[in-house]
Amino acid sequence: MILQAIELRNFGKFAEKTFEFRRGMNLVYGVNEAGKTTLVEAIPAVLFGVRDKKRFRSWASGEECAAALVFTGRRGRVRIARDLLDDRVELVETDGEGREVHRFSGSVPPEEAAAGSGEYGEHLLRLFGLNEEAVFRSSLFFGQGQLGAPGAPAMAGRIRSLLSGFGQVDYDRVLAGLRDELADLADDRSGGRAGESGELEKVTAEVAALEDRWREGRQAQEQLATLRDEIAELENSIAFDRSEYGKGERYLALVRNHYRVTAGATPASFAPPPEPPPTPVAEASVASSVEDPAEERNRLERELAKTGLPREIPEDLVKILVDADEERKVLVSLQGEAAELRKELHGWCTPPWKGTAALSLLLFSAGAGLSWVFPGITLWLWGGGGVAALLPWGLHFMRAGQARGERNRIQELIREVEERREEVQTRLAALDGRFERLGLSPSAVEVVRMRKNLPRHQELLARIRELEAATSGVKSAQVLEEEKPTASSSAEEPASLAAEPPRTLPPEALLPQEELPAAEEKLRELGESLREREARLLELSRAEATLRASLADLCAIEREGKGLKSRRDSLSRRREVLRLAAELLDAAVEEFRSTYLERFAADIGTYLMATTRGSYGRISFDEKFSLLLPAKGEAGWRPLEHFSRGTADAVYLAVRLALSRHLARGQRLPLFLDDPLVNFDGERLQETVGMLENVAREHQLIFLTHNESLLKRAGQKRWHLLSLDQARSGRNRASEERNDDVEQLHLL
Amino acid sequence: MIRILHTADLHLDAAFPELGEKEGKRRLDLLQTFERLLTLAIKNDVQLFIVAGDLFDTPRPTSEIVEQVAAGFKRLIARGIAVILLPGDHDAPPDGVNAKLAALGAVILPETPGLQPVTMTVAGRPVHFYAFGGCALPTPATLDRMARRPLDGVHIGVLHGLRPVLSGESGQGLPLESLQEWNLDYLAFGHGHEFLLVEGDGRLYGCCPGSPEGLRFGENGPRYCALAEVEPENIRLEPLPVGGRVLDELCLDLTGCETLADAVTRIRELHSSDLLLHLTLTGLVEVPLEMAELHDRCAVDFYHLELLDRTELLAGDFVSRLASEETVRGVLARRARRLLDEVPPERRPLVEEAFRETLRRFQGQGGARA
């Protein structure tokens, strides 16, 4: 496959120009800045596009920038044309007879083209064996000074890059990169950074630590729950015992008083009443003052009578009182409603007709007067007057109608209200009846009084009953009606019962005097135990508060744990992926080396013959692709550094050629050399050129230079010559005659 | 009949580090949802506004947020709507912020049920609250105290952290029998971030409204609060949609995509400026997709976009071309394909990812990638 022509239109400094090439050696001559690089860059520009649209935009015309390449080969001819501004590409392949074999037309942006994807990429692959720009450039292009062999490690690196298939990156580096990241993650390496643990290990350790903390926190939570249960129980028992204590105290005080009274002032066989246990709520003082009990009782009874309620309140009385109260309230409100409605009704009386009548009469007389004065318009006056008279009457009737409607409505409402009132009154009557049956006066005043006194009555009754109970020595818990359940969690003291013991005690209820100290002792013990329990309650509450504070962490720990675990899982997965990748790549390299190494060595050897003009024909590689040549005059191999520069250059060229051929899947593609020998001097230059000529037997070579001595050689060796330089048209007549395409277009 | 607006798990002052620069905006979204809840409460003329836990994400939220919440609650209280708050597992212990809210008149329920429920008067009737929240553990003694007391009025249970196990479900949590034993008029649950009706045996016990603004992926789709009308022996419940942005987790099949631009087009079809999307990409593609670049080109069409690459490459034409080369790359492609066929199905995504990773490191942008 050779490049036959490059067609340029408004491409860089070329307005419209076609360059034609031939097999073998082609020399493009031009001084610096003549456009050599532009010309050779047109090739990848057409194949892969340019990202920077301004790069080749013509100085003359900015709207168009296009180029085309024509390749010819065994199969026929391919023309690839591209508009560099909008990236429209046209590819036409024709066979030997000129029949069209393939055609592609479409837009191929540079990113796509460079990657070799899509239908266009398929064509390139088919034609050249290559479809990626990076590979294309690194195999077929030799830039300035690039023919000289780089140092051995770089050479090996270049070889590895090309063999990787990517052109730029050498697989060794990729492998190293994978392994590095793996080590950062999971410390897989044995030596070196064995002190630091990988990130994955760190996270796993954190998760474990967190789980420990969580377990501790969980224990604390359980402790807290038990603690709270204990506290609740304690509260319960304290509440109960405190009330018991109070009762016991009062009873004993009663007993003591009794004995004192009956036996006069007695010595201190009666211990003073034990101190009351300290109460957190400074409400009622349970200190019982020993007064005149009977007197007190009578007083209470009198008060009770004053409430107007019977001593024993029947169950329904309360309900009846409440109901009656409610019903009366409803009645009052209904009466209010009715009054309101009546007032409203009054407001809607029929509007007076007198005014309207007067107005119409006035109009009528006015009309009559006018018609008398102006008899001609009588008819008109009658007509107009009639209408005028009708208007106020119309309004009047409307208003009257409206008023009537409203009145009807209100009357309806009033009727309803009245009905309800009657209902309420019937109910009240019924309630009154029940009052009477109970033997109470149903009068409204009485009822209200009874209602108001109900709570007080209950209180008094309770006190009286307490006295009775205390005297009879019966601890009746049912008496304590006041201890209704309340919203607060702490049990309350029985409401202020400065219960005074009655003066006299029925003998059966009295504790024998001998047993008194024992009873007091028991009471004191109860008091002690209560105090202890309260102290303990305080302790427990404090403990609860501290536990509570530390518990907030538990939930935060759980959340942190979740986050860490998910991080650990994702790191774990990453490690798996990296490990797999490294294994895959490692294995691939191994397989590649073992399969292809020998073959390469052989391919390169063939090219080596050409480039060293027969001096060397064999080459070898180590695993890292460092090159070895047979040692001169002895058996065995020597590394490349041991040989001359000229030899090294030759070897490098051979390597590049072999690789290019390999990457192009066996095709012999043209090579483009952009002044690669610029750093070579005298003899080396000549040697290398000789080498290139050899190569040119198999590959088309397009060689750009500004070196005049090469011009001479071009003539001698019958190279195909193109000149970019205006002033050189008549230089070498021999070549002019022989090469009919010296009439190359010059710079415009 | 008492009307309740029941919500929970607002998590005000939560952090969203995964959203990057959108974090501030998202935090404002939460506050806006809070305001919407207040509006709903007022519009629907409720008597109770109950937050069943985790109103805040931390026990000590920033003062600006607390100010805004306090102002909002003041508005409700001024209109006669009682505000009932339960400490959740994120915003307990109730010191600091809850004290301030209590001072306004909001009722802060205790973390464990006491000997007696918390009683208050609402619209002339007594209402009793049985509370269980914070980080408390459900011991039998504690749970017993949630049972209905012989008092007049409406009995409402407010719970955070206990999951009701409905009939047909298994697992840990609160069995239906417990709910039946308690015999409360309405159960206001919190902590679960999804809307859940708590019913069984033909009876509705209450609900868990879920988070009114989705916080993490998983809390997808529309969000609700609950509007409940509670009568003795009867509950009418209506989920009210609330919440501003939508979270969603989707899968997109990119089979056949030949270029990055193709993929970008397909992803952008899902665009919505209110959508936080977690998108898993699947399918057989013909070009290795660079996730970072894909994200950069698509993210602008969404409120927030996360991409997960589960695309397949190895079975496609692109790899076929590579596999025909006589280079290291070619051998790699061939070996990767063989490996794909050999491993069990659950490991296949790993092989794909490993191959993509290697390819990525080779290709780079015109140079080596370490």
Taking the mean position of all CA atoms in its chain, how far away is CA A232? 43
Say yes or no: B318 contacts chain A, CB-CB below 8 A: yes
Model pLDDT, residue B98: 73
Q: How far is A665 from chain B (nearest CA, A)?
A: 8
Task: Characterize A32-53 residue by residue with b for buried, 16 or more Cβ atoms within 10 angstroms of its Cβ, and e for exposed.
Answer: eebbbbbbbbbbbbbbbbbeee
CB contact under 8 A, B336 and A584: yes
Q: pLDDT of B9-55, one tens digit each? A: 999 998 888 888 889 999 999 999 999 999 999 999 999 999 998 99
Residue of A478 and A322 predicted with greater confidence: A322
- Gyration radius from chain A CA atoms: 60
Q: With bands split at pLDDT 50, 70 and 90, how would you rate the model's confidence at A550?
A: low
The span from the CA of A393 to the CA of A391, in Å, is 5
Q: What is the mean pLDDT of residues A365-373?
A: 75
**Residues in A touching B325 (Cβ below 8 Å):** 165
**What is the layout of strands, in order, in the sheet containing B196-200?**
B118-122, B125-132, B154-160, B186-190, B203-208, B196-200
pLDDT bucket at A442, cuts 50 / 70 / 90: low
| B259/A486 CB distance under 8 A | no
Nearest Cβ partner of B328 from A134, A163, A173? A163
Q: At what angle do helices B23-43 and B63-78 cross, to 10 degrees?
A: 10
Whether residue B331 lies within 8 A of chain A, CB to CB, comes out as yes
Residue whose C-alpha is closest to residue A225's, from A441, A544, A8: A544
Q: Which of B258, B331, B361 sits opposite A591 (nearest CB)?
A: B331
pLDDT (0 to 100) of residue A630: 85
Q: Minimal Cα distance from A229: which residue of B?
A: B141
Residue of B nearest to A491 (CA): B115
Structure tokens at A111: 């990113």
Contacts 24+ apart (CB under 8 A), A301-305: A301/A464, A303/A456, A303/A460, A304/A457, A304/A460, A304/A461, A304/A464
Mutate to test the interface with A, among B310, B327, B359, B360 (most CBs of A within 10 A): B327
Q: Under an 8 A CB cutoff, do B354 and A577 touch?
A: yes
| Complex ipTM more than 0.95, yes or no | no
The residues of chain B that CATH labels 3.60.21.10 are 2-241
CB contacts, 8 Å: B357 with chain A:
178, 577-578, 581
Q: How confident is the model at residue A490 (pLDDT cuts 50, 70, 90)?
A: very low
The answer to whether residue A460 scores a pLDDT higher than 80 is no
Where does the pLDDT of residue B364 fall: very low under 50, low under 70, confident under 90, or very high at 90 and above? low
Give me the CATH code for the B2-241 domain, please. 3.60.21.10
Show which of residues 277-296 on chain B sit within 8 Å of chain A, judged by CB atoms: 286-287
Nearest residue in A to B334, CA atom: A588
| CB nearest to B361's CB, from A174, A548, A663 | A174
Rounded Cα distance, B32 and B28, in Å: 6
pLDDT in tens, B248-285: 999 999 998 888 888 999 999 998 889 999 999 999 98
Q: If DSSP codes are grouped into helix, strand and coil, which group holds residue A585?
A: helix
* Rounded Cα distance, A718 and A421, in Å: 135
Residues of chain B found within 8 Å of residue A224, distances taken between Cβ atoms: 136-137
Pick among A575, A576, A584, A599 to test the B interface (most B CBs inside 10 A): A584
What is the C-alpha to C-alpha distance for residues A533 and B53, in angstroms, rounded to an integer? 34
Contact A603, A661 (CB under 8 A): yes
Token pair of B96 as six digits: 């600091």
Region A130-140: mean pLDDT is: 79
In the numeric block, which tokens belong to residue A91? 């590819």
Higher pLDDT, B336 or A557: B336
pLDDT at A384: 72
Q: A82 pLDDT exceeds 60?
A: yes
Is the pLDDT assigned to residue A486 strictly greater than 50? no
| Mean local confidence (pLDDT), A492-508 | 45
Q: Which helix (H) or strand (E) covers residue A589, if one does? A: helix A515-611
Quick check: A415 pLDDT over 50?
Answer: yes
| Alpha-carbon distance A169 to nearest alpha carbon in chain B (angstroms) | 5
Pick from B92, B142, B329: CB nearest A164: B329
- The pLDDT of residue B195 is 92
Q: Which of A119-128, A426-435, B261-270 is the most confident on average? A: B261-270
Amino acid identity, position B296: D
Task: Quickly list DSSP for A205-268.
Answer: HHHHHHHHHHHHHHHHHHHHHHHHHHHHHHHHHHHHHHHHHHHHHHHHHHHHHHHHHHH-S--T
Output the pLDDT for position B200.
Answer: 83
Chains A and B form CB pairs within 8 A to the count of 144
Residue A271 above 50 pLDDT?
Answer: no
- Find, in chain B, the residue whose alpha carbon is nearest to that of A551: B135
pLDDT band at B210 (very low <50, low <70, confident <90, very high): very high
For A225, residues 6+ apart whose C-beta sits below 8 A from its C-beta are B136, B137, B139, B142
Quick check: B354 and A588 CB within 8 A? Answer: no
What percentage of chain A has pLDDT greater than the value 90?
7
CB contact under 8 A, A592 and B328: yes
- pTM here is 0.62
What are the tens digits of pLDDT across the range B143-155? 888 899 888 889 9
- Taking the CA of residue B201 and the nearest CA in chain A, the distance in Å comes to 32
Model confidence over A521-534: pLDDT tens digits? Answer: 888 888 899 899 88
Chain A CB contacts of B367 below 8 Å? 168-169
- Per-residue pLDDT of A587-645, as tens digits, reads 998 888 888 777 888 888 888 887 777 788 888 887 777 888 888 777 788 888 888 87
Q: How far is residue B85's CA from residue B106's CA, in Å, rounded to a whole number?
A: 7
% of chain A with per-residue pLDDT over 70? 76
- Please name the member of B115, B330, B357 whose beta carbon is closest to the beta carbon of A165: B330
Question: Which residue is listed with tokens 């959508």?
Answer: B275
Helix (H, G, I), strand (E, B) or coil at A716: helix
Q: What mean pLDDT value characterizes chain B? A: 87
What does A301-329 look like in DSSP terms, one character per residue? HHHHHHTTS-SS--HHHHHHHHHHHHHHH
Taking an 8 Å cut-off on Cβ atoms, the answer to whether B90 and A555 are in contact is: yes
